[in-house]
Structure 1
Amino acid sequence: MAPPRRVCVTGGGGFIASWLVKLLLSRGYAVHATLRDPCTYGRSRDPKNVHLKQMGEVRENLHLFKADVLDYDALTRAFEGCEGVFHLATPVPEDKIVDPEVQKVIVLSSNAAVDFNPNWPQDKLKDESCWSDKDFCQENQAQERP
C-alpha cells in the first residue's frame, strides 16, 4: 500500500485550519500542521490545541511542527516531503513566503486583514491595496477589553 499523500497546513490550530486538517485527514492525507506552540497540544490545563488530539484514529497521520511563519528553517522542516501547502497562518508579504518546492500553495486570510481601515474611502471597493490600520486595530482592541 502506498504511503498517504502529504500536505502542510500552516496555523493548524486556528478555527478554519483545524477544520481543514480534519477534512484532509478524513480523506486519507498525512498532514503536517504548524502551530506557534505545539506544547499546548493535549495539555488538559491549556486546551488551545486539544481539539487536534480529538481527531480520532486518523491521528497517526497528523504531525505537528512548532513554526513561526517568518522562520524559514521551521517552515522548511514542516514543508519537507509535502506536495502541497495550505497557508492559513497570519498573512505575510509574498517575498517572505518560503519557496518550498511544492506543487501548490494555497493562501487564505481573514477579512479582518482589510476590513478595519477608517481612512479607506467608503465608496471604494476593498482590494489587495487595502490593509487594516494596525494602530486603529490596537487602539480599539485595548478599548474593548475590561
Structure 2
Amino acid sequence: MPAAGKGAVCVTGAGGFIGSWVVQLLLSNDYPVHGTVRDPQDDDHNKYAHLKGLKGLKLFKADLTDYASLLSAIQGCSGVFHVASPVQSSSCSSKQEAEAEIIEPTVRGTLNVMKACAEAKVKRVVVVSSAAAVVLNPAWLEAGPGYNKPMDETCWSDLAYSAAIEVPDPTRIDSTACSVTMVFKYKRIAMI
C-alpha cells in the first residue's frame, strides 16, 4: 500500500534494464508506479514476467511516437522518469537510416513525453539521456582501457569526430534537451 502523500510516478521504458530497476526502487519506497512498455500482453517471450507480479505497478502499452498513449500512462502521476528510447530493429546501413530509425523517434518521443507531462501537470521529471551524447569522443578512446574519468554534464561527444565517422548527429538529441528545458522552465516543472 502506498505511503500517504506519495503520488504515482510514471517510468517510461519500464521493461528495459534501467527502467525495471527504477521501477523496483520506486516500489520499494512505496510509490505507486505506472510503467510504460511496448506491449504488456507480450507473453510469447515472457519479456515482462519480472514486472507482472510487482505489487503497486500498473503497466501501460505506450509508443514514444504516440502522444495519446503516453498521456494515458502519465495522467495522475506527480513524477516521471523518462527512460525509454527506441531500439534499433535492424542494422542501419546508412547515417540517414539510423537518423530515421533512432534519432527522429527519440526526439519526437521526448517531446511527446514532455508535452504529456505539462498537460498532466506533473511536478517533477527526470530525463535519462542517450549514451550517444557522451560516448563519441576520441580522447577517451586514446586514453586506453585504464581510463576511468567519470562522465558527467561536462562530457559531450565530439561533433567533428562524429561527422568524420559518419554517425548520426548527437546534437539532435542535445537540441531536444534544450527545447525540453525551455518548455519546463516556462511551465514551471522541475526537471533533472
TM-score, normalising length from structure 2? Answer: 0.54
Structure 1 partner of 2:25: 23
Q: Which residue of 2 is the match for residue 7 of structure 1? A: 9
Distance 2:29 2:158 in 1: 36
Partner of 2:51: 52
Number of aligned pairs? 124
Deviation track 1:8-29 (CA, whole Å, cap 9, x = no partner) reads 0000000011011011111111
- Which amino acid letter does the alignment assign opposite residue 32 of structure 2? A
What's the offset of the Cα at 1:109? 2.8
Q: Per-residue deviation at 1:123?
A: 4.4
- Return the offset for 1:7: 0.6
Q: The residue matched to 1:47 in structure 2 has which SS?
A: coil
Deviation of the 1:108 alpha carbon: 0.7
Residues 1:65 and 2:60 are matched in the alignment: yes
More displaced 10-residue stretch of structure 1: 7-16 or 96-105: 96-105
Identity of aligned residues (%): 44
Offset of residue 110 of structure 1? 3.8
Task: Indicate how the Cα distance of structure 1 residues 48 and 70 shifts in structure 2: closer, same or farther if over 3 A, else same.
Answer: same
Does residue 85 of the first structure (1) align with residue 80 of the second (2)? yes
Secondary structure (helix, strand or coil) at the match of 2:58 reads strand
Q: Does 1:107 align with 2:127?
A: yes
CA RMSD in angstroms, aligned pairs only? 3.0
